[in-house]
């Protein structure tokens, strides 16, 4: 994420000039459209806008229908954005940090017990199972998408950001209804596609929308407030609150609560609050093994199962206790990429904590690079405070929600979750750019004067 221009470019939207019918020009005498380099540039800007509309229309739909769809969506749109990356476009420091993390992860495959000895690159399943190979393409395509969308004109950003906010409000309302009726509509859609699913699995799949909505919540609220749509803000708040509560998804609930506190803190204290977040993120990645070891001895899984918390937390504590023990045995270089899968009886796929997984698989270097990335991110968000404090607060809240959910729920290499992070950056870019948009032009789209 970039700031006064981390989140958005400053390019103007494409315009057409020349006489029009009714102003003294006939159809046969109308000035020809732009050709050559100017025509190509204009066509590329239309393509950029088309990709932006695809992002905002598909995001709420995929969040409801199937969260795994974020990975192919971001990858395909990133591939489509390759033609938009010119010589003037340069990756940020954050991308360089992620590239260093990727290179270290690839190197760790040489000692990872999970790495196949003789992979068959002619078989899709063999290649698809290689996390390192997938990460190469994900970094390339997801980064390309973010860079291309950063150059969307402010006028287009005003439109697409509002469309995204409206879609998220509709998503919140729909998931609330599905939480009450047991995901009946989702089951009907799956049945119509000849993919029948059990009611409990349908409810679990719909509940995944809460994780996505929690990340996008504050940028969406900010955009709806600016468009004078308080009723839809209420729909978003109530709908997401009801669905997360009825689906009993702890991570999004905690993420929303922490993000709300962060939003209020940044509004009240500005950069001071951002620095607290930065320090907190660094401490989280640096101390995760020690904290996990202490916490799992303090709250023993048997005590949790006896009534302190629900069973899923008991399972988490058991996983974290085992993972922290393995980290202590090999803290410097880690056990290698995807090594978490080498203990299926103790760790189901991943440790359900981003920092622990990085320590376990990539050692101190992996954890340090992750901490450095988040520190860079919060520095860039902090740079926005003096320019647009509300946007800085929304961006910090979105980052906090993403970091919180990653610390409790998903594997750090899950491609769909990484794609959600990339799309969240794009969404913040759009909202930030829309707030730079001229009030008079913005009023033409919303029909109302814009608010802060």
Residues of the chain with pLDDT under 50: 1-29, 438-443, 445-446, 448-450
Phi, psi of 8 (to 5 degrees): -165, 150
The average confidence (pLDDT) of the chain is 85
How many other CB atoms sit within 10 Å of the CB of residue 277? Answer: 23
* Cα–Cα distance measured from residue 53 to residue 280, given in angstroms and rounded to the nearest whole number: 35
Instruction: Please give the C-alpha separations between residue 170 and each of 112, 157, 235, in angstroms, as whole numbers.
Output: 44, 20, 8
Write out the two tokens for 402.
């993403």
> Would you say 19 and 30 are in contact if contact means Cβ atoms under 8 Å apart?
yes
Query: What is the DSSP track for 225-274?
Result: HHTT-HHHHHHHHHHHHHHHHHHT-HHHHHHHHHHHHHHHHHHHHTHHHH
For 140-161, how does the pLDDT look when each residue is reduced to its tens digit (9 = 90+)?
A: 999 999 999 999 999 999 999 9
Instruction: Please give the C-alpha separations between residue 309 and each of 75, 300, 322, in angstroms, as whole numbers.
Output: 39, 11, 19
For 241-274, how does the pLDDT look when each residue is reduced to its tens digit (9 = 90+)?
A: 999 999 999 999 999 999 999 999 999 999 999 9
* Cα–Cα distance measured from residue 259 to residue 11, given in angstroms and rounded to the nearest whole number: 31
What per-residue confidence (pLDDT) applies to 53? 97
How many other CB atoms sit within 10 Å of the CB of residue 83? Answer: 13
What per-residue confidence (pLDDT) applies to 92? 86
Question: Strand, coil or helix: what is 3?
Answer: strand
Question: Strand, coil or helix: what is 6?
Answer: strand
Nearest to 46 by CA among 78, 79, 70, 13: 13
* Cα–Cα distance measured from residue 72 to residue 138, given in angstroms and rounded to the nearest whole number: 10
Percent of the chain with pLDDT over 70: 82
**Domain ranges within the chain, ordered by starting residue:** 44-441
* Cα–Cα distance measured from residue 369 to residue 351, given in angstroms and rounded to the nearest whole number: 19
How many other CB atoms sit within 10 Å of the CB of residue 412? Answer: 21
* Cα–Cα distance measured from residue 210 to residue 187, given in angstroms and rounded to the nearest whole number: 18
């Amino acid at each position: 994420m970039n700031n006064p221009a981390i989140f958005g470019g400053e390019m103007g939207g494409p315009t057409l000039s020349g006489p029009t019918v009714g102003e003294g020009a006939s159809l046969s005498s109308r000035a020809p459209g732009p050709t050559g380099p100017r025509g190509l540039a204009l066509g590329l800007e239309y393509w950029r806008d088309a990709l932006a509309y695809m992002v905002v229309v598909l995001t709420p739909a995929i969040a409801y229908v199937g969260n795994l769809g974020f990975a192919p969506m971001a990858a395909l749109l990133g591939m489509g954005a390759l033609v938009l990356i010119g010589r003037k476009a340069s990756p940020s420091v954050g991308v360089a940090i992620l590239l260093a993390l990727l290179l270290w992860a690839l190197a760790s495959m040489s000692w990872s017990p999970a790495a196949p000895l003789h992979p068959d690159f002619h078989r899709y399943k063999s290649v698809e199972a290689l996390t390192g190979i997938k990460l190469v393409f994900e970094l390339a395509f997801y980064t390309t998408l973010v860079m291309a969308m950063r150059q969307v004109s402010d006028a287009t950003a005003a439109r697409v950001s509002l469309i995204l906010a409206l879609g998220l409000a509709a998503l919140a309302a729909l998931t609330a209804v599905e939480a009450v009726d047991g995901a009946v509509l989702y089951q009907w859609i799956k049945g119509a596609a000849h993919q029948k699913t059990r009611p409990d699995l349908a409810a679990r799949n719909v509940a995944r929308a809460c994780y996505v909505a929690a990340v996008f919540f504050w940028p969406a609220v900010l955009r709806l407030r600016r468009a004078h749509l308080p009723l839809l803000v209420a729909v978003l708040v109530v709908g997401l609150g009801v669905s997360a509560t009825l689906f009993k998804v702890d991570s999004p609930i905690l993420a929303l609560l922490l993000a709300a506190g962060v939003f209020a803190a940044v509004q009240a204290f500005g950069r001071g609050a951002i620095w607290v977040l930065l320090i907190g993120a660094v401490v989280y990645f640096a101390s995760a093994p020690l904290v996990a070891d202490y916490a799992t001895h303090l709250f023993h899984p048997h005590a949790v199962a006896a009534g302190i918390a629900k069973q899923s937390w008991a399972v988490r504590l058991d996983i974290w206790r085992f993972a922290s023990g393995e980290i202590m045995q090999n803290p410097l270089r880690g056990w290698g990429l995807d090594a978490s899968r080498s203990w299926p009886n103790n760790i189901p796929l991943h440790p359900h904590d981003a920092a622990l997984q990085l320590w376990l698989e990539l050692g101190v270097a992996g954890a340090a690079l992750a901490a450095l990335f988040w520190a860079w991110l919060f520095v860039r968000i902090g740079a926005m405070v003096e320019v647009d404090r509300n946007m800085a607060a929304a961006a910090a809240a979105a980052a906090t929600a993403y970091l919180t959910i990653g610390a409790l729920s998903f594997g750090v290499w899950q491609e769909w979750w990484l794609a959600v992070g990339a799309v969240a950056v794009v969404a913040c870019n759009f909202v930030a750019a829309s707030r730079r948009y001229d009030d008079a032009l913005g009023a033409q789209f919303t029909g109302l004067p814009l608010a802060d």
